[in-house]
Amino acid sequence: MEPPTEKVVYLYHHLPKCGGVSFIRTCEKWFPPRREVLGSYPDAARIAEFARTRLDFDALPPNCFVHGHLVRPGIRPFERYGDYIAAGKMRLITIVRDPLERCISGYFHRQKVGRPWHEPLEGWLKSGRNQLAKYLQVDAENIRARLDSYFVVGTMESLQLTADILALKTGNPRLEVPHLNISPRSDYELSEDAVREFVEANSIDYEIHRYATDRLSREAAGLFDVQT
């Protein structure tokens, strides 16, 4: 697939602890990057201030790769750039991850950056439900419609394949994706009850991950069959 003839911008909807730093480093070699900087652990005042400003499409270079943690209410992609998306000016990209692995990674990331959670890991697992669904603004009824509105939906488990598909769809050469921003983990154990409760409490996130995995496989089969 060749790059578009009319100007478009790519918006990478960077979901926390889903391999985003590695993916961004790869995409910066293909596209001129522009980072939306909200800051780590922003308070309500900072989020409100950020929500009042946004990037001007006309001021961005063609094929610009905009990225940022646009996951808080009021600044998510369809809230912040809904008109650009609807007009076809902005193509969305995102990557999801197995919900339990993403949550565990978030727990150890907090330790890494000096903001440890006040409870053991099993307590952290109960602290939030269906976070991916909140970030993506989906519920059980609109998962497919929302994810199908994204130009590329990948998974951290298949990060290289995700990048390969984006390269092919935008006419760029294949690049190896590095492994960056890895949070070291100490030994831990989770009880069967804790895992079962997490899976039950995060059923929408698991459906998001299943659909993203299926879509990625279908898209890869179609694209790479065409190329061979």
For the chain, give every domain's residue range.
Answer: 9-227
Tokens of 27: 């995409």
DSSP state of 4: P
Tokens of 208: 């998001």
| pLDDT tens across the length of the chain (228 residues) | 555 558 999 999 999 999 999 999 999 999 999 999 998 889 999 999 999 999 999 999 999 999 999 999 999 999 999 999 999 999 999 999 999 999 999 999 999 988 989 999 999 999 989 999 999 999 999 999 999 999 999 999 999 999 999 999 999 999 999 988 777 788 889 999 999 999 999 999 999 999 999 999 999 998 886 554
Give the CATH class of 9-227.
alpha beta
Question: Which pLDDT does position 224 carry in this prediction?
Answer: 80
Residue reference for tokens 């909807």: 13
Query: Following DSSP, what letter does each residue of 21-88 receive, concatenated?
Result: HHHHHHHTTTS-EEE----SS--HHHHHHHHT----GGGSPTT-EEEE---STTSSHHHHSHHHHHTT
Question: Which pLDDT does position 228 carry in this prediction?
Answer: 40
The residues, any chain, with a CB within 8 Å of residue 19's CB and separated by 6 or more, are: 95, 97, 156, 159
Q: What's the Cα-to-Cα distance from 61 to each of 34, 80, 85, rounded to whole Å?
A: 10, 19, 16
Question: Which pLDDT does position 227 carry in this prediction?
Answer: 53
Phi, psi angles (nearest 5°) of residue 193? -65, -40
**pTM of this prediction?**
0.93
